[in-house]
Structure 1
Amino acid sequence: MSFAVTTESRLTTVDVTDRIAAAVPDGLEAGICTAFVQHTTAGLVVQEAEPRLRGDFESFLRDVVPDEGHAHDELDGNADSHLRASLVGPDVTVPVADGELALGTWQSVLLVECDGPRTRTVSVTTVGENRP
């Protein structure tokens, strides 16, 4: 199963928890759910979705990786996006318990856009034990 996410800014986060949870099949009692963003300039992270923290996370990525001054920029001007996405990683794996994502109280799955605005594809795969 996959779904599209359209972003509106160059560097932003989008809460995709509900869309990933919707991909957990009915009847899956226990297992794992892996979400994977199929792009080299976006990533996924499990983190709190509080707006100020999301802004702090975006600022952190800007501070760690400068916007300019990278060799790849000669090709298409987005080396910063590739580097930021590599820090985040393209996937997350979340346990499934009692048919639902077993996230902690404050945990959400965020898509981290590093080269927007764009439309991104997130692929979701689940494996596990079905209810009898």
Structure 2
Amino acid sequence: MTFTVETDDRLTTIDVTDRIAAAVPDDLESGTCTAFVEHTTAGLVVQENEPRLREDLEAFLADVVPDGGHKHDQLDGNADSHLRATLLGPDVTIPVTDGSPALGRWQSVLLLECDGPRTRTVTVTTVGSTVD
């Protein structure tokens, strides 16, 4: 299953937990769910969906990888976005129990946009045993 996410800012976070959970079949008794963002300038993380923490994540990425001064910028000016996405990774894998992602109390899946605004595509796949 795939879904798209519209982003409004160059560097931002969007909670995609509910959209990933909706992709998990109800009859999947146990297994795993993998979400993968199909882009080189965005990433997925499991983290707390708290507004100040999301701002901290964005500020952290901006501090660790500053804008400008990168060789790839000579092509299209977005090397910082590629480098930030490299730190994040393109996917997360979550256990599934009784048809639902088995996330902890404060865990959410966040898409981190590093080169927006853009339309991002996320693919969700599941494997495991189903209820007979």
Query: Fold-level match, TM-score > 0.5?
Result: yes
Root-mean-square deviation (CA), in Å? 0.4
Structure-2 separation of matches of 1:112 and 1:94: 17
- Runs of 5+ in structure 2 lacking a partner? none
Instruction: Name the amino acid aligned to 1:85.
Output: A
The number of equivalent residue pairs is 132
- For the 8 Å contact 2:15–2:49, the answer to whether it is kept is yes
SS at match of 1:40: coil
Tell me, in whole angstroms, the C-alpha distance in 2 between the residues paired with 1:93 and 1:117: 26
**Structure 2 CA distance for aligned equivalents of residues 26 and 2 of structure 1:** 17
> Are the aligned partners of 2:20 and 2:35 in contact in 1 as well (CA < 8 Å)?
yes
Report how far residue 25 of structure 1 moved. 0.9
1:38-49 paired onto structure 2 within 5 Å:
38-49=38-49
Residue 8 (structure 1) aligns with: 8
Match of 2:119 in 1: 119
Runs of at least 4 residues off by over 6 Å: none
Question: Please, what TM-score do these two structures have when normalized by structure 2?
Answer: 0.99
Q: Gapped runs of 5+ residues in structure 1?
A: none
Deviation by residue 1:93-119 (Cα, 9 ceiling, x = unmatched):
000011110000000000000000000
Aligned-pair CA distance for 1:61: 0.1
Deviations 1:17-66 (A, max 9, x none): 00000000121110000000000000000000000000000000000001
Describe how 1:1-132 pairs up with structure 2 within 5 A.
Answer: 1-132=1-132
Residue 67 of structure 1 and its aligned partner are, at CA, apart by 0.5
